[in-house]
Structure 1
Amino acid sequence: MSERFIVTKEHRRFTEFADSVRRGHTIGLCFGAAGVGKTVSARRYAHWDKAHDLLADWGPRSEDDVKVYAALAKSRTVLYTPGVLTTPRLLRDDLNLAISRTNICIQEHVEAAAVSRRTKNYIQLIIVDESERLSPTALELLRDRYDRDNIAVILIGMPGLEKQFSHYPQFYSRVGFAHHYRALGNDELLFVLQRHWRALGKTLDPDDFTDAQAIAAIARVTRGNFRLLERLFPQIERVLKINELQTITNDVVEAAQSTLVIGVT
């Protein structure tokens, strides 16, 4: 995932938002439609694609792990996604485990030559994805951790998240920032499409009538939704290969769309 990552304006805005929450030691809410890129940006910010396997499969260390230590030391962030049936106790235990292991990794980087092995707390930010799944008790647990440990918190979810949490005044009164993560605008959509065209060995020319039609078809199908773009292009490549075509046309886009259960609400 990290090799194909495209830095969009929305990702930069998310990074600025997360930095502000972390520096301000506050609580932030990030909301946006499904598939616009919230989770991808959060994983990128926390370097979670690099760190997840090491933190989940806790075992013998290797020389390559130093890269993970450095990445976690840079982000000082833990990313957590509660399950559908996650209880407050499980949330507490899972967070404690993730924070403890991440702290050990960071300490390996910042205090490699230290004699003391007492683990400190280096975590400055907890990001909780799919936060609509949190019960009122789980929210209270996060608020208590925020108050006691001075660790900033970002909750990520769907539009309406800010209204949902407004019903919990003890928690909501501590919210310092809210960020609306939006779909790709026209200019950014064109930029992303140029990357996809290039990955297929082709050049996108918006002034070419055929390319312009294809762009319009993709915009109509995806409405700038990043996840739908990522799902659509493998099918476009498949249609090109099966039919031995060299050009991405409106018909190719429609054929690719027909193979997916695709739509934006």
Structure 2
Amino acid sequence: MCHGRPGVGKTRSAREFSSFPDLGEYAALRPIAALLGEKVARCRAVFYTVSVSNTPKTIDAVLGLNLIKLGYARLTVAGGSQDEITHDAARIACPLVIVDEADRLTIKSLEHLRDMADRHGFGLILMGMPGLEKRLARYAQLYSRIGFVHEFKPLTETEMRLLLATHAGDFGISFDPAQLDAVEAQAAVIRITRGNFRLMERLFAQMRRIMTLNRVEEVTADIVQAARDCLVIGPGN
């Protein structure tokens, strides 16, 4: 089980780790395209986002179908053909499922996921907001199966400085360590975002917009503050 505040990178980390490909156009027992085959070979897990209105039926319609599709695709890539691949073999060919927005799951949906994990034999990671672990503690059959709980924490100041140095350029922004204004601007970004990755992206987008409108290339603390004033930032950020 993984939990953390909004914006700390839970979903992005899970998507990056799982490398789950889009299987919308793939049909089981049909030849698999070379590009999709490469993506399937890199895939580590099925990534599933819980819908706001969820039932065991909707979970089967999306997650259950993706499990079967990925199973057939994995076995096809591994064996080189679709020959002799059975439905039962495809059902258990996926080793891991990552469920995002697990806070939305109803009691019946949680029980259904537990039953699917037991029947299909896959590992299950539930991801959600802080408090998810306390909610699941009320369901002994599910909680007794949880191996560990991991908390996604905001980035530290050191991590933020490294991120700003390596990825600020993706937004057309640079912090020159030799310029006092840039150093002050970097400190302002760290103070405002407090290690929240999503908030940092939103702040950078506003900073770039303000710099473009004012035809400014050098970032300053005033630009950071002006960008911050354009955003709605809750007390938890």
Fold shared, TM-score > 0.5 on shorter chain: yes
Contact 1:82/1:130 (<8 A) preserved: yes
Distance 1:71 1:255 in 2: 43
Correspondence for 1:36 = 8
Contact 1:232/1:257 (<8 A) preserved: yes
Correspondence for 2:185 = 214
Is 1:97 paired with 2:65? yes
1:66 deviates by 2.2
1:102 deviates by 0.9
Given candidates 229, 254, 260, the residue that maps to 2:200 is: 229
Distance 1:116 1:177 in 2: 38
Closer/same/farther in 2, CA of residues 197 and 89 from structure 1, 3 Å limit: closer
Given candidates 63, 76, 87, the residue that maps to 1:108 is: 76
Is 1:47 paired with 2:19? yes
Q: Which amino acid aligns with 1:87?
A: T
Correspondence for 2:37 = 66
Correspondence for 2:93 = 122
Distance 1:122 1:112 in 2: 15
Distance 2:59 2:8 in 1: 26
Correspondence for 1:87 = 55
Counterpart mapping for 1:97-176 below 5 A: 97-113=65-81, 115-119=83-87, 120=89, 121-176=92-147
Distance 2:235 2:126 in 1: 23
User: What SS does the corresponding residue of 2:34 show, helix, strand or coil?
Assistant: coil
TM-score by length of structure 1 reads 0.80
User: What SS does the corresponding residue of 2:149 show, helix, strand or coil?
Assistant: strand
Is 1:251 paired with 2:219? no
Q: Which amino acid aligns with 1:84?
A: V
Closer/same/farther in 2, CA of residues 93 and 41 from structure 1, 3 Å limit: same
Q: Which amino acid aligns with 2:26?
A: W
Structure 1 residues 207-232: Cα deviation after superposition (integer angstroms, max 9, x where no partner): 74322311221122211101111111
Paired residue total: 229
1:85 deviates by 0.7
Q: Which amino acid aligns with 1:98?
A: N
Q: Which runs of 5+ in 2 are unaligned?
A: none
Distance 1:202 1:109 in 2: 43
Closer/same/farther in 2, CA of residues 197 and 151 from structure 1, 3 Å limit: closer
Q: Which amino acid aligns with 1:109?
A: V
1:246 deviates by 2.0
Is 1:188 paired with 2:156? no
Q: Which runs of 5+ in 1 are unaligned?
A: 1-28
Distance 1:89 1:106 in 2: 25
Closer/same/farther in 2, CA of residues 182 and 71 from structure 1, 3 Å limit: same
Distance 2:137 2:117 in 1: 17
Contact 1:126/1:153 (<8 A) preserved: yes
1:264 deviates by 4.9
